[in-house]
Structure 1
């Protein structure tokens, strides 16, 4: 039998009725002889309610006190789920992050896990208990409650699975797996049977919201098999693991199409082409803590250069103000901005052994009349910037071009 860590998000435990359903599912795994550790989020909407309460008192609450406040949401669901399991005749114990001693750094509201004391968990599991742990939280070396940031319960679950050397970490959510693209955009989007950590990281960073990026990074670092499953529907879900196909030629070229609407473009025109100009442009942007994504530089015959980069839309106004000041200092001709863009990416480890992915992508977009504004690549990803109004058309064209409508083979969950 297996040791399984299961995580249930806020919608999965959003009411007493749903907590009862989760208890039925967990009890079923116990009946099959599995050792179970359950990580739960706060009930849906609860964290936002607590934040609103705090902001009614202080415009900018002290981070330490915010962590004390918002960590209570998860503690409610741990206790209720333990009670529901006990009602079903299953021994269960609930713990908050400090009781398990999930040791973190002291960066309140965005702490990172340093280590986990798994002795108590192993003792409870050996005694036949289901262990229910509050996600999203830990404790620093001074005993202060800390939280891991939005989506931190995923990270808690993966970290516990790594510490306990669990056979699998199961993330239960409101979708039944990872899809080739957003089913709301492409009717023919298919659930993937499996995907690698690398592919999932790229998909998550490009806009797929199924898993928190930090959780995928953690799972990849410690080789924790992850499975995404629907909370209230049966099915094998999607397995995320280190393994690729044994024969690279059998690996699908593309795993999925990801996209992100939260993109804006800034361009500085007519900058003198000289050593260090890129730093003079991006240095102040970085110092302002504005994250830059895609970068393109074009050199003209008159020994000047046009420099373009993308930022999130929420940072556009601030970035444009900084860039205008830089333009004045450098003697540039003009600064332009555009918030009507989007990024679309094809992702797949199969790119390593299959040539022609870029040309196929560009041809598919050209066939439907979509112009590419910027291009960036990695070993397993090609991303392009296009006009936002063409985004859904582009996703459908690429999904079809790369043959992602084929049904995946299914694999049984642990």
Structure 2
């Protein structure tokens, strides 16, 4: 694969030779490290970039399927395994990957060594299985780079202030890579995966989906939070906050991928960017809650205490009883098992008339710019789906997205239908980088 090379801009008077070497962070996902030959390919990519004059940090995930295998073992041992021990177990997948990758680089004639999350260290909070990064120590990394090493960092894992191993949630290697890039002020963070960029819709579901050449952080954040699997949402949050240039590209192709950039670097951006679908959703409805701010606050406080990520939250007065209100929200089905007993207990406390739970749903979302100011978009979405016999519920509209709930069995059809309805096949990019944008 042709390496990405970032050449420092000359500043005259021989200053070029005094400038630091460009620094690249390269993250490789599970499919990229699925077997020995693919790991050797990673080694060649990293070495080619280093030989072109770049300092290189490689972040790797566990080998494809390994994390699922480990989590399955935990559930075979205990139906509700302790989250701390789950992190100890799940983190071992990356330990294998970093060691093999470092060995592969050495076998190709390079200098490399691996670092686990606690060795770097990546300091996190203590929210096991979904920890958040507090800081990344740079000293060891910078010393190794200055000595000519390629440093191979374990993604997905960190260590809390009590020296407990933590993990960052599924897709957490993306977050590790962007956090390391932000800490080091890297010139670019390249996310290598099995797709060659960000598409207007998942091409495996919607063959007419088109690759975007660039996309602003804000739209990428919405797509990631609404089910697009290309990047973990927290990695996009960090990239946007610290203005980390991110390039999503394929491990198996030399093609340019999709660059995620600041909005001001995109010229003539399209209003509609793409579609995302988040399957495995459940909808919880608390019908007939006493109408007071305190009651609503108790529901939101419980969800915060459980650290449950909810969406499409709304409450409205009951038509039958004006002194009561209905509260509803969506959450992943995987979170429902943990949250349901607490919700049932709270429903009794609040004298809720009915607690209704609907599962096997999918959240389909159209992402773009200024969608709230164009009510015709939501109308076209609902009309298009209803005309095809796809019932829509739980519509939510804001500046960057229109989301609705459909039955999971209709999700793929809904994505293809909306992709054609809104003519997202018309262009291959959200916009072109302006001349002053970084390469």
If the length of structure 2 is used for normalisation, what is the TM-score? 0.81
Residue of structure 2 equivalent to 1:30: 50
Task: Give the whole-Å Cα distance in 2 for the aligned partners of 1:120 and 1:253.
Answer: 44
Counterparts of 1:218-229 in structure 2, within 5 Å, are: 218-229=238-249
Task: Give the whole-Å Cα distance in 2 for the aligned partners of 1:336 and 1:62.
Answer: 29
Residue of structure 2 equivalent to 1:297: 316
Secondary structure of the 1:187 match is coil
Residue of structure 2 equivalent to 1:193: 213
Residue of structure 2 equivalent to 1:264: 282
* CA deviation profile, 1:339-372 (whole Å, cap 9, x unmatched): 3543211111354886743344344335535443
Structure 1 residue 48: Cα displacement:
3.8
Task: Give the whole-Å Cα distance in 1 for the aligned partners of 2:362 and 2:161.
Answer: 43
* CA deviation profile, 1:356-391 (whole Å, cap 9, x unmatched): 433443443355354432221222111122344433
| Contact 1:104–1:112 (8 Å) recurs in 2 | yes
Counterparts of 1:356-371 in structure 2, within 5 Å, are: 356-371=376-391
Secondary structure of the 2:221 match is helix
Q: Using a 3 Å threshold, how does the CA distance of structure 1 residues 85 and 256 change in structure 2: closer, same or farther?
A: same
Q: Using a 3 Å threshold, how does the CA distance of structure 1 residues 216 and 275 change in structure 2: closer, same or farther?
A: closer
| Contact 1:268–1:334 (8 Å) recurs in 2 | yes
| Contact 1:198–1:349 (8 Å) recurs in 2 | no
Residue of structure 2 equivalent to 1:207: 227
* CA deviation profile, 1:120-168 (whole Å, cap 9, x unmatched): 2222222322111122223334444433333221111111100111111
Residue of structure 2 equivalent to 1:100: 120
Residue of structure 1 equivalent to 2:12: none
Residue of structure 1 equivalent to 2:262: 242
Measured on the aligned residues, the alpha-carbon RMSD in Å equals 3.4
* CA deviation profile, 1:72-107 (whole Å, cap 9, x unmatched): 332222222222222222222222223322223344
Structure 1 residue 325: Cα displacement:
6.7
Residue of structure 2 equivalent to 1:121: 141
The count of aligned residue pairs is 412
Residue of structure 2 equivalent to 1:233: 253
If the length of structure 1 is used for normalisation, what is the TM-score? 0.85
Structure 1 residue 210: Cα displacement:
1.4
Gaps of 5+ in 2: 1-6, 8-21
Moved more, 187-196 or 133-142: 133-142
* CA deviation profile, 1:229-269 (whole Å, cap 9, x unmatched): 1111221111112234555xx21011111122322334455
Q: Using a 3 Å threshold, how does the CA distance of structure 1 residues 120 and 312 change in structure 2: closer, same or farther?
A: closer
Moved more, 78-87 or 283-292: 283-292
Residue of structure 2 equivalent to 1:403: 423
Secondary structure of the 1:84 match is helix
Gaps of 5+ in 1: none
Secondary structure of the 2:102 match is helix
Moved more, 160-169 or 90-99: 90-99
* CA deviation profile, 1:110-129 (whole Å, cap 9, x unmatched): 33222222122222222322
Among 263, 282, 307, the residue aligned to 2:326: 307
Determine if the alignment matches structure 1 residue 379 to structure 2 residue 399.
Answer: yes
Residue of structure 1 equivalent to 2:270: 252
